[in-house]
């Protein structure tokens, strides 16, 4: 199993699991919450087919990575990503972040700049800043995120079932663009995550302000977001990215849910391959 050790908790190392396939220009895919690198299944084949080297990894606490009780904040997540990039000696690589993973992409530019990074993609991303505050009046009320954390604490498996129905807009696309089995597969991945990491990440992605990080991006940037996203609302997130990333290109996918990388892969993948080409 391919891992990079990024830290230590008591007697146990903290290892990040990754997969590294293909050759050509590298693309690093950063997954969303509460899933793993396996969530990129429908993109990996097309990117490999287009001649890319494709790297996926599991955020600490998720998938096959270690599940420590510490480090569920964006500075640590981004340090983990940078240690992976350094281990693999990546140059001229693209960063693609889905949902929560968009935060790592933004913070990467904020912490490390664009040296070595050729392009950036934000897909259904939590950027620029989800939380409603005095200087972010269009954000989501804090009570919504406290409700999520309370529901996870009360019955995490039941919460995940409802969450994934809204993730894929199953009432609209179920049996057509997403099967019951695909939803179950994602539940299995999410259920295997660290319970503490699952809760702590809600605080991280809801309360982290990425606006200054985004202003550091000086490479070609693509923003893809479904306008029927029930998890990260389009008006709060994707539709605002151009304010902070100069010259970014926005693709608003009509009627698409949060999990559009699965439901709308046949529409999204050609756009992704074209942009990264």
The 10s digit of each residue's pLDDT in 155-192 is 999 999 999 999 999 999 999 999 999 999 999 999 99
Give the sheet arrangement for strand 221-226, strand by strand: 3-9, 12-21, 53-57, 26-30, 93-98, 117-123, 221-226, 249-253
Q: Is 99 a catalytic residue?
A: yes
pTM, rounded to two decimals: 0.98
Q: 64 near 86, Cβ under 8 Å?
A: no
Domains of the chain: 3-276 (3.40.50.1820)
Tokens 């050729």: give the residue.
118
Q: Which of 31, 52, 225, 258 is catalytic?
A: 258
Decide if 258 is catalytic.
yes
> Of these residues, 58, 80, 209, 229, which one is catalytic?
229
**Helices and strands (H, E) in the chain, number of each type:** 10, 8
β-bridge pairing 117-123 and 221-226: parallel
Spatial contact of 205 and 234, defined as CB atoms under 8 Å apart:
no
Catalytic entry in 99, 194, 206, 248? 99
What pLDDT score was predicted for residue 246? 95
Q: What is the pLDDT of residues 68-124, one digit of tens each?
A: 999 999 999 999 999 999 999 999 999 999 999 999 999 999 999 999 999 999 999
Average pLDDT value over all residues in the chain: 98
């Amino acid at each position: 199993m391919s891992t990079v050790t990024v830290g230590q908790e008591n007697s146990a190392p903290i290892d990040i699991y990754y997969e590294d396939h293909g050759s050509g220009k590298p693309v690093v895919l950063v997954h969303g919450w509460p899933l793993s690198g396996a969530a990129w299944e429908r993109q990996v084949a097309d990117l490999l087919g287009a001649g890319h080297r494709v790297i996926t990894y599991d955020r600490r606490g998720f998938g096959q990575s270690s599940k420590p009780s510490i480090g569920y904040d964006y500075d640590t997540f981004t340090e983990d990503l940078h240690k992976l990039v350094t281990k693999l000696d990546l140059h001229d690589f693209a960063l693609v972040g889905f949902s929560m993973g968009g935060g790592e992409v933004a913070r990467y530019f904020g912490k490390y700049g664009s040296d070595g990074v050729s392009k950036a993609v934000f897909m259904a991303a939590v950027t620029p800043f989800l939380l409603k505050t005095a200087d972010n009046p269009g954000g989501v009320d804090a009570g919504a995120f406290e409700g999520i954390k309370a529901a996870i604490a009360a019955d995490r498996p039941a919460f995940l079932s409802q969450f994934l129905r809204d993730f894929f807009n199953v009432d609209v696309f179920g049996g057509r663009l997403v099967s019951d089995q695909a939803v179950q597969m994602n539940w299995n991945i999410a259920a295997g995550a660290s319970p503490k990491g699952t809760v702590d990440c809600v605080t991280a992605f809801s309360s982290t302000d990425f606006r200054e990080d985004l202003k550091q991006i000086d490479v070609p940037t693509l923003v893809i977001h479904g306008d029927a996203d029930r998890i990260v609302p389009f008006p709060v997130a994707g539709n605002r990215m151009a304010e902070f990333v100069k010259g970014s290109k926005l693709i608003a996918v009509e009627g698409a849910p949060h999990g559009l990388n699965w439901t709308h892969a046949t529409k999204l993948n050609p756009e992704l391959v074209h942009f990264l080409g």
